[in-house]
């Protein structure tokens, strides 16, 4: 397995890579190419170009959860992808893989919208989308775990934000 960090919170000294509060990894495993999260801007796209990572040759885009610092870059990827599609330079159509609650609206008091700015419906117009709270094998050695229950006393038990479900927060 090869993991390349495209975005995270820290910048290495003398690095030409950009950074932001967010997360994005590029993973190669058993011939599959996976983008894990997208940060919240186009920094992962810019850093992929600097590092020579081809984001038009992805098998999966896996989203860990639906907060802005993991999903907002997906809107910019959609634009990047559609522009490449119009130029006929897309190599593959990636599958979006995530938990069923990823695209629910999320709101934090005093902050505002903290969830994905794209809906599942909008993404389904351009990509296949797999929503699962169960483990999903991407390769024989790489598994999307689905929902991970809180089992440890040190984990935050109270939600940090409100989620819109059936018209109610």
The reported pTM is 0.91
DSSP 8-state secondary structure symbol assigned to residue 67: B
For the chain, domains (ranges, CATH) are 2-163 (3.60.15.10)
For the stretch 109-164, pLDDT in tens is: 888 889 999 999 999 999 999 999 999 999 999 999 998 887 787 777 666 677 76
Q: Indicate the helix (H) or strand (E) that contains 75.
A: helix 73-86
5-61 pLDDT tens trace: 999 998 878 889 999 999 999 999 999 999 999 999 999 999 999 999 999 999 999
Tokens of 44: 């992962």
Q: How far is CA 5 from the centre of its chain?
A: 13
Contact between 124 and 95 under an 8 Å Cβ cutoff? The reply is: no
- Which percentage of the chain shows pLDDT scores above 70? 96
């Amino acid at each position: 397995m090869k993991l390349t960090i495209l975005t995270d919170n820290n910048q290495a000294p003398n690095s030409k890579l950009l950074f932001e509060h967010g997360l994005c990894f590029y993973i190669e495993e058993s011939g599959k190419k996976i983008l894990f999260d997208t940060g919240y801007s186009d920094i992962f796209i810019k850093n992929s170009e600097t590092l020579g990572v081809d984001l038009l040759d992805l098998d999966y885009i896996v989203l860990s959860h639906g907060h802005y610092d993991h999903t907002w870059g997906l809107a910019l990827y959609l634009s990047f992808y559609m522009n490449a599609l119009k130029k006929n330079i897309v190599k593959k159509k990636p599958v979006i893989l995530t938990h069923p609650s990823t695209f629910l609206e999320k709101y934090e008091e005093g902050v505002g919208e903290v969830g994905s700015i794209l809906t599942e419906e909008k993404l389904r117009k351009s990509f296949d989308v797999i929503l699962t709270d169960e483990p999903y094998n991407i390769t024989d050695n790489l598994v999307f775990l689905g929902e991970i229950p809180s089992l440890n006393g040190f984990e935050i038990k109270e939600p940090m934000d409100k989620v819109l479900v059936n018209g109610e927060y």
